[in-house]
Amino acid sequence: MFKNVTPREAYAAYMLGSLFVDVRENIGADAKTVDVNQIITLPFSELDQRLGELPPNRPVVVVSNVGNRGREAAKFLQARGYADVANMEGGVAAWEREGLPIRTHA
């Protein structure tokens, strides 16, 4: 089973080398996202076709708006052999509430 982690736990995982995967659909140019260097924008609807973009042996933290789509993406990744997968509870909204780094999506 994948893990659910708080934003602070997700940030700690990032500092230890986890890759963030933003699975939100239709992210507008003015949308906020987590401000980390190791993040891939991979909409949930494209996950199956673009799975090869994710390194199979690297820990992954899935990011969504509030965590719902993230849970589905985490289940999807685990079912396809990704062993170290976490869903960030509360998504980008919780990340921002915690005062963690935010940027406008480019």
Domains of the chain: 3-104 (3.40.250.10)
pTM assigned to the model: 0.91
Mean pLDDT along residues 44-70: 92
Q: What percentage of the chain exceeds 90 in pLDDT?
A: 77
Q: At residue 26, does pLDDT exceed 90?
A: no
Task: Kindly list the distances between the CA atom of residue 25 and the CA atoms of 39, 41, 105, in Å, as whole numbers in the listed order.
Answer: 15, 9, 13
Name residue, tokens 């935010």: 102
Confidence of residue 106 (pLDDT cuts 50, 70, 90): low
Cβ-proximal residues to 7 (8 Å cutoff; 6+ apart), any chain: 88, 89, 90, 94, 95, 97, 98, 100
Q: At residue 71, does pLDDT exceed 70?
A: yes
